[in-house]
Amino acid sequence: MQAEVERLRGRERALEDEVARLRGAGTPPVGSPRSDLLFTAAEQTRMAMIVTDPNLPDNPIVFANRAFLELSGYAAEELVGRNCRFLQGPDTDPADVARVRDAIAARRDVVVELVNHRRDGSAFVNELYVSPVFGPHGELLYFFGSQLDVSRFQERDADAAGGGASFRSLLEDVEAGFCIIEVRFDEEGRAEDYRFVEVNASFERQSVLAGAEGRWMRELVPDHERHWFDTYGEVARTGRGVHFRGVASRFGRHFDVRAVRVGDPASNRVALLFEDVTDKQENEVRREARDRDRAAERDVVWRNSRDLLVVCGFDGFFRAANPAWTEMLGWPAGKVVGARFDAFVHPDDRGAAGRAFEALRAGEKLSNLDVRVMTADGGHRWISWNAIPLGDRLHAAGRDVTERKALEEQLRQAQKMEAVGQLTGGVAHDFNNLLTVIKSSTDLLKRPNLAEERRGRYVDAISDTVDRAAKLTSQLLAFARRQALRPALFDAAQSVAAIADMVGTLTGARIQVETDTDTGADEAGRRLRCHVDADPSQFDTALVNLVVNARDAMQGEGRLRIAVRRADRIPALRAHPAVPGDFVAVSVSDTGAGMPPDLLDRIFEPFFTTKGVGHGTGLGLSQVFGFAKQSGGEVAVSSALGIGTTFTLYLPRSARAETREEPEEETEPLIDGHGTPVLVVEDNEEVGAFATQALKELGYEAVWVTDAQAALAAIDEVGQRFEVVFSDVVMPGMNGVDLAREIRRRRPYLPVVLTSGYSHVLASEGAGGFPLLGKPYSVADLSRALRKALRERSSLAYG
């Protein structure tokens, strides 16, 4: 008998392990390889199992394994499609049925004993374990029901007790608390007390009752809850076992209890197997409350968020979308769910969106990807996306940043306009001065009987003034260029020195400007260069912004100092630690009023300014900050009230900083062109006539055409006649760069020299590798450029 009981107990534990294993495996949806494996395991197990589908009306049975068919006596076709209620007879406790129904509605586990009837009408006590199985998105797929016929277990226990068999060896081996009690009834047949007949070693630890064997419960715990006596009395009276979870308030503990009648019914004995589940109960309560709270929070966020929320499978199709898609973009949910992730993305941004999607599929997170998303009315909004991969899908949130994008564009334009506005007055003033010199010199040259010495002086004045005007024009064009950062290797010290004249124009006569670009020398006495790899135009803009800021801080009078030096670290700034390395530091110091400490953390914010209305937009310093960050550097500021302020721009020094550049050997101007044929391509009549005349004065044979098509026709017509082409860049139709490329294709050894004052083509594409002579140019510059091109042609042709 004892061996049979142990076998049944082991079978019960195996059932619990089987249910736990099936619950752990039951994550994939039906039809996947893993779910097929799950049903195969259910078919092969000796446990009686059924599967019901909660997504169909009346929760019908959709699967029953062989063990269940053997237990119930029904064929599979008689079970599938029906609710399992038809297995229960009229003697089934309605409360137990209600517990199963409530658990299914709450999508949680439940364990209950029910009286079921086989096909032949015989009844058996069925211990039913019902477990929900969820899919990868939290959806309820189905319920697994594992069943055990405990009628034989009760009968075997009764036979064992009736035969006088002792459970002592079994009791001592199990970890759960185990005891046999004897129930005492009062005259009205109600259980009033019970006595502990046998207890195992775990009883005292589980029940917190010391020395209980042979004693009555009322003696041990006088105020023990009434429900314990009623429950055990019902088991002893009816022989129907129970499995329940109850609370013992006296001890503040929760117990999981199984109770069956044993021995002669007249003995009123009940075997109890119980376990202290207080911690488990509390954890379950907390977990259920936490899950309810989280579900409620997620639902509130999903429905009320103003951000776009979406779940997208890694097949590229949306699985869920929140109402913000309709509110913000006008797309109904039916149009979004089931669509591809890039169906709503602006065509120009689909490349970036596709790369981000592939990165998410590879397991990477996505942060702050700005793309344009189309609206239902044909417009678009800028959306900044953040997303994380999870299983076979990704969860993404998109925030509308259209207004921010518009402000950023306005900031860039206003920043450029403010800086240009600061320059225009000073540059116009300087140009008027230069034009005054030129105009006066030309007037003097027209005077009769002018001495040769004075004539030469006026001609030199005009030439020098033109050089100064060309320098100002070059600086202004570089400063006003609208483009993304175009890093180039340049010497910061040389750039500061070159812009010194412009600085004087910006600050005015009452501000004393000092520049210190002495960066030291190497062992051979050569000046150490401060090369940086950054956008030189943006560098100039940042420097001008710092100068303008210093000028305004000094109210137009004081001392301004610009210094360039090498630095071995960026100091600790704005809660960031110091960064060791190799840097170029450009400092702009003023003797203005200084700033209080509480403003130093805000001065780089866009639109923040301490100036009065109409005296600045607060954009200059934000440009400096953005340029420094984008170039891998930093900007520091130190200030003292009444003393002044110093801004220091730190930029990484290029690894090529110590490259020694040998000065290019200057080609001597060609005094006699020896009749070398030159094709001049220039659409401006005055410049074309001047270039042709100048070349003839130098001894060249010059032919002038006004556009690229005429130039190609002339080259094809005369064959090898021309030895060099001198072409403007900006012309109607084909520009000079494209013309040079076409000439190279047709005549590989015919050199081309380009010339331009300023060109958007050059700004965006460069000169394409062709030599470029900037306007205005001198006759000597023209001669030198042509002579160099002819020499290079000779080396290529005859190598």
pLDDT tens figures, 601-615: 667 655 445 554 334
Average pLDDT of the residues in 420-425:
58
Average pLDDT of the residues in 470-477:
60
Scored b (16 or more CB within 10 A) or e, 209-236 reads beebeeebbeeebeebeeebbebbbbbb
Higher pLDDT, 555 or 151: 555
In the chain, ranges of CATH 1.10.287 domains: 409-476
Calpha distance 281→279 (Å, rounded): 5
**Paired tokens of 731:** 């012309």
Span 483-662 CATH architecture:
2-Layer Sandwich (3.30)
Query: Residue 96: which pLDDT band, with cuts at 50, 70 and 90?
Result: confident
Higher pLDDT, 774 or 371: 371
Amino acid 767: pLDDT? 58
Amino acid 191: pLDDT? 93
Helix (H, G, I), strand (E, B) or coil at 432: helix
- Summarize pLDDT for 670-706 with one digit per residue, the tens: 456 778 899 999 988 888 888 888 888 888 888 999 9
- The CATH code of the domain at 677-798 is 3.40.50.2300
Average pLDDT of the residues in 743-757:
86
Choosing among 3.30.450.20, 3.40.1030.10, 3.40.50.2000, 3.30.420.40, the CATH entry for 305-400 is 3.30.450.20
Calpha distance 207→196 (Å, rounded): 12
Scored b (16 or more CB within 10 A) or e, 549-579 reads bbbbbbeeebebbbbbbbbeebeeeeeeeee
Amino acid 585: pLDDT? 92
Phi and psi at residue 585, to the nearest 5°: -110, 125
Amino acid 615: pLDDT? 42
Query: Residue 540: which pLDDT band, with cuts at 50, 70 and 90?
Result: confident
Amino acid 429: pLDDT? 59
**Paired tokens of 229:** 């006596």
Give percent above pLDDT 90 in the chain.
12
Query: Which of 1-5, 652-656, 726-730 is predicted with the least confidence, judged by mean pLDDT?
Result: 1-5
Give, as one character, the DSSP assignment of residue 687: H
Calpha distance 750→743 (Å, rounded): 7
Scored b (16 or more CB within 10 A) or e, 14-39 reads ebeebbeebbeebbbebeeeebeebb
Query: Which of 227-231, 504-508, 747-751 is predicted with the least confidence, judged by mean pLDDT?
Result: 504-508
Amino acid 5: pLDDT? 46
Calpha distance 244→235 (Å, rounded): 12
Strand extents, DSSP E, 628-781: 634-640, 644-652, 677-681, 701-705, 724-728, 752-756, 772-774
**Paired tokens of 467:** 């050089």
In the chain, ranges of CATH 3.30.450.20 domains: 2-149, 156-282, 305-400
In the chain, ranges of CATH 3.30.565.10 domains: 483-662
Residue 292 CB neighbour total at 10 angstroms: 10
**pTM of structure:** 0.36
Average pLDDT of the residues in 63-80:
85
Give DSSP secondary structure letters for 120-142. Answer: TS-EEEEEEEEEEEE-TTS-EEE
Choosing among 1.20.144, 2.60.40, 1.10.287, 3.40.50, the CATH entry for 409-476 is 1.10.287
Contact 570, 634 (CB under 8 A): yes
Calpha distance 706→714 (Å, rounded): 11
- The CATH code of the domain at 156-282 is 3.30.450.20
Strand extents, DSSP E, 189-251: 191-199, 242-248
Angle at 668 between CA 663 and CA 669, to 5 degrees: 130
Amino acid 605: pLDDT? 59
Amino acid 609: pLDDT? 55
End-to-end CA distance of the chain: 109
Query: Residue 163: which pLDDT band, with cuts at 50, 70 and 90?
Result: very low
Strands 318-321 and 366-374: unpaired
Give percent above pLDDT 70 in the chain.
75
254 to 201, 489, 768: CA distances (angstroms): 20, 76, 84
Res 372 pLDDT > 90: yes
Dihedral angle sign, alpha carbons of residues 80, 83, 89, 92? positive
Partners of 194 in beta bridges: 183
Amino acid 133: pLDDT? 76
Beta-carbon contacts of 125 under 8 Å, excluding residues fewer than 6 positions away, are 113, 114, 115, 116, 149, 150, 151, 154, 240, 241
Most confident range (mean pLDDT) of 193-197, 252-256, 485-489 is 193-197
- The CATH code of the domain at 2-149 is 3.30.450.20
Q: Is the peptide bond before 323 cis (omega within 30 degrees of 0)?
A: no
Calpha distance 582→665 (Å, rounded): 32
Higher pLDDT, 198 or 527: 198
Res 542 pLDDT > 70: yes
Residue 293 CB neighbour total at 10 angstroms: 10
Query: Residue 624: which pLDDT band, with cuts at 50, 70 and 90?
Result: confident
Amino acid 345: pLDDT? 92
